């Protein structure tokens, strides 16, 4: 799975995704978020590369995952994941940007832009473009060189590298209490749900430096999901195109 953080990476990473798919004979998921999809950045064109079309070969043992076929294919999946894990350690999709090692941030996608805007050179960043499989050795090296790493809620895998706290992103009061316990220099709120639920408002009220829109502004993000449906409805009923407008508080 690959995840870009801006428009340029959307173009570059989709090409890389096709190359990974061909090199490792695997499907590749391309993960986007609303903010990346609605963002703009400079994109450089590159020459088109023509690839010969491959003949389709009927192979139900490979493409039809009935239980009898799945048992034998699982061995191949394990081999492929091992090869992809080695690739994750060396690919340019993942990179470390060293700065002050007091603060270390591991992030991907739009969260990377939040970190760079808020912290700049005040924090070292491990930016993940290939988010599965993870580059475990790169993560170990990064963790050893920063003072502390936290994860919430975390899981059994990441618990080897970070101190995990059992709190969900939508548990606003729980996240505020966790912030009081850890006393972070900055808090980044990225998912839409906690933003709409007012996490930034509550953290600001407690005196924390918080990056993200307040609830009265964040409510626009889920509304954007319904605007195309409303536009289509109006067009069908009246024959008149409807273009939604957003009023910012």
Instruction: Give the bridge partners for 96, in sequence order.
Output: 126
Q: What is the CA radius of gyration of the chain?
A: 22
Three-state DSSP at 124 gives strand
Return the pLDDT at 13: 96
Q: Which phi and psi (to 5°) does residue 210 adopt? A: -125, 135
What stretch of H or E contains 12? helix 7-24
Per-block average pLDDT, block size 10, for the chain (249 residues)? 94 95 94 86 88 88 89 92 96 94 87 85 91 91 85 69 81 90 82 85 92 82 51 45 38
Return the pLDDT at 230: 44
Return the pLDDT at 243: 39
All residues at 6 or more sequence positions from 49 whose CB lies less than 8 Å from its CB, including other chains: none
Largest Cα span, the chain: 62
Q: Dihedral sign, CA of 188, 218, 208, 177? A: negative
Return the pLDDT at 233: 44
Return the pLDDT at 137: 93
All residues at 6 or more sequence positions from 73 whose CB lies less than 8 Å from its CB, including other chains: 61, 62, 65
Helices H, strands E: what count in the chain? 11, 7
Which string of b and e fits 170-208 if b means at least 16 CB within 10 Å? ebbebbbebbeeeebebbbbbebebbbbbbbbbbeeeeb
HEC readout, 78-122: HHHHHHHHHHHHHCCCCEEECCCCCCEEEEECHHHHHHHHHHHHH
All residues at 6 or more sequence positions from 177 whose CB lies less than 8 Å from its CB, including other chains: none
């Amino acid at each position: 799975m690959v995840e870009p953080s801006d428009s340029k990476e959307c173009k570059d990473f989709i090409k890389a995704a096709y190359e990974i798919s061909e090199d490792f004979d695997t499907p590749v998921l391309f993960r986007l978020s609303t903010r990346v999809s609605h963002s703009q950045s400079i994109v450089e064109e590159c020459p088109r590369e023509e690839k010969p079309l491959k003949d389709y070969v009927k192979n139900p043992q490979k493409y039809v995952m009935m239980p009898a076929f799945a048992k034998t294919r699982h061995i191949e999946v394990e081999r492929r994941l091992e090869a992809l894990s080695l690739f994750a350690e060396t690919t340019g999709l993942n990179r470390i940007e060293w700065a002050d090692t007091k603060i270390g941030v591991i992030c991907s996608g739009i969260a990377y832009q939040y970190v760079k805007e808020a912290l700049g050179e005040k924090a070292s960043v491990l930016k993940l473009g290939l988010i599965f499989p993870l580059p475990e050795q790169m993560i170990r090296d990064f963790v050893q060189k920063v003072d502390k790493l936290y994860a919430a809620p975390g899981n059994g895998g990441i618990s080897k590298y970070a101190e995990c706290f059992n709190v969900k992103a939508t548990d606003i009061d729980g996240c505020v209490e966790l912030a009081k316990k850890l006393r972070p220099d900055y808090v980044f709120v990225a998912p839409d749900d906690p933003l709409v639920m007012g996490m930034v408002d509550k953290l600001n009220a407690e005196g924390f430096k918080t990056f993200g829109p307040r609830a009265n502004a964040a409510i626009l993000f889920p509304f954007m999901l319904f605007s195309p449906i409303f536009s289509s409805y109006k067009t069908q009923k009246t024959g008149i195109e409807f273009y939604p407008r957003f009023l910012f508080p």
